[in-house]
């Protein structure tokens, strides 16, 4: 049997948002590898082995997947959202680059999924409708000084911004600092969307302004979308629509 690795995105939570391509790979797999809550989303069946592990062992997990594929297994490495956005695809390729040279002949494919910022944006309307960037606010793998630099430059460039991992229980001060930086660089009425558990049963969407936002509006299950200076809110009955126009007048440029 020829082994392979497929790195798959399970989307934000709703089973309907898993792509048919990913579903097909899960059906073919002999082994599933991933973080405990993501592996828990995979139904058990005969011939399938589930390998769940802690969130901070990405390289070990990737090495295990590659070795099983080298031994002939059909392995799916699962992530939530999209595997290429702050997730397992980069970890697998890091393990591949630094592992035995024969691993480089293993077929490895990345199967895209719907990442949290796109699911949240769709719920709100189109806050990422023009130029935007995504920043992981966790300082586990990079220093806070780099995060702060990127925040300031993104705000000064007037990007819409998507923040992943905004506020952990162990490091709650990071998002407090983030709001302070945004208030130094942006106007008080800048729109901010807090989208928690998008597409799941406990989904919660909250629209605020920078002036009214507080750090406790976010946790690790929240993706935070910050509009640009041109992002608008359309009031209507029910939930408002938030969007960023595609057109930027010449006088706003330069």
How confident is the model over 22-40, as pLDDT tens digits? 999 999 999 999 999 999 9
> Pick from 94, 114, 134: which residue ends a domain?
114
Q: CA–CA separation, 41 vs 235, rounded Å?
A: 37
Q: Clarify whether residues 192 and 100 are in a common domain.
A: no
Q: Clarify whether residues 138 and 244 are in a common domain.
A: yes
Contact 164, 116 (CB under 8 A): yes
Q: Is residue 218 helix, strand or coil?
A: coil
The string of pLDDT tens digits covering residues 189-234 is 999 999 999 999 999 999 999 999 999 999 989 999 999 999 999 9
Average pLDDT over residues 157-180: 91
Average pLDDT, the chain: 94
Q: Clarify whether residues 92 and 144 are in a common domain.
A: no
> Pick from 49, 81, 114: which residue ends a domain?
114
Other beta carbons less than 10 A from residue 99's beta carbon:
17
> Which residues have a Cβ under 8 Å from the Cβ of 219 and sit 6 or more positions away?
166, 167, 168, 169, 196
Q: Clarify whether residues 128 and 234 are in a common domain.
A: yes
Q: Clarify whether residues 75 and 199 are in a common domain.
A: no
Domain count for the chain, please give it.
Answer: 2
Q: Clarify whether residues 121 and 233 are in a common domain.
A: yes
Residue 248, pLDDT score:
74
Q: Clarify whether residues 94 and 172 are in a common domain.
A: no
Q: Clarify whether residues 248 and 205 are in a common domain.
A: yes
> What is the 8-class DSSP label of residue 43?
P
Q: CA–CA separation, 202 vs 15, rounded Å?
A: 15
Band the pLDDT of 143: cuts 50, 70, 90: very high
> What is the 8-class DSSP label of residue 189?
T
- Which segment, 47-56, 70-79, 169-178, is predicted with the most confidence on average? 70-79
> Is a pLDDT exceeding 90 seen at residue 140?
no
Band the pLDDT of 108: cuts 50, 70, 90: very high
> Is a pLDDT exceeding 90 seen at residue 251?
no
Q: Clarify whether residues 175 and 203 are in a common domain.
A: yes
> Pick from 114, 130, 152: which residue ends a domain?
114
Q: Which domain CATH number covers 37?
A: 3.40.1010.10
Q: CA–CA separation, 113 vs 81, rounded Å?
A: 5
Q: Clarify whether residues 88 and 11 are in a common domain.
A: yes
Q: Clarify whether residues 48 and 137 are in a common domain.
A: no
Residue 170, pLDDT score:
75
Tokens 């695809």 belong to: 89
Q: Which domain CATH number covers 183?
A: 3.30.950.10
Paired residues of 109 in beta bridges: 6
Average pLDDT over residues 51-80: 95
Q: Clarify whether residues 198 and 73 are in a common domain.
A: no
Calculate the dihedral angle through the C-alpha atoms of 128, 230, 225, 90, rounding to the nearest 10 degrees. Answer: 50
Residue 216's domain comprises 117-252
- Residue of 84, 126, 162, 150 whose CA lies nearest to 234: 126
> Is a pLDDT exceeding 60 seen at residue 253?
no
């Amino acid at each position: 049997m020829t082994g392979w690795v497929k790195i798959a995105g399970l989307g934000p939570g709703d089973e309907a948002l898993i792509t048919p391509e990913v579903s097909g790979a899960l059906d073919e797999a002999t082994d599933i590898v991933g973080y405990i809550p993501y592996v828990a989303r995979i139904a058990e069946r005969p011939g399938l082995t589930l390998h769940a592990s802690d969130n901070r062992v990405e390289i070990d997990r990737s090495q295990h997947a590659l070795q099983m594929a080298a031994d002939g297994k059909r392995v799916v490495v699962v992530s939530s959202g999209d595997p290429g956005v702050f997730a397992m695809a980069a970890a697998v390729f890091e393990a591949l680059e630094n592992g035995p040279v024969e691993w480089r002949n293993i077929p490895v494919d990345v199967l895209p999924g719907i990442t949290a910022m796109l699911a949240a944006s769709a719920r709100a309307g189109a806050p990422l409708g023009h130029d935007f960037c995504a920043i992981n606010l966790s300082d586990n793998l990079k220093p806070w000084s780099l995060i702060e630099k990127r925040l300031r430059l993104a705000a000064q460039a007037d990007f819409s911004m998507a923040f992943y991992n905004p506020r952990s229980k162990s490091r709650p001060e990071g998002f407090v600092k983030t709001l302070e930086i945004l208030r130094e660089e942006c106007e008080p009425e800048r729109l901010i969307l807090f989208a928690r558990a998008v597409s799941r049963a406990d989904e919660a969407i909250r629209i605020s302004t920078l002036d009214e936002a507080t750090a406790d509006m976010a946790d690790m299950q929240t993706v935070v979308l910050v509009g640009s200076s041109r992002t608008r809110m359309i009031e209507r009955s029910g939930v408002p629509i938030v969007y960023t126009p595609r057109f930027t007048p010449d006088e706003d440029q330069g």
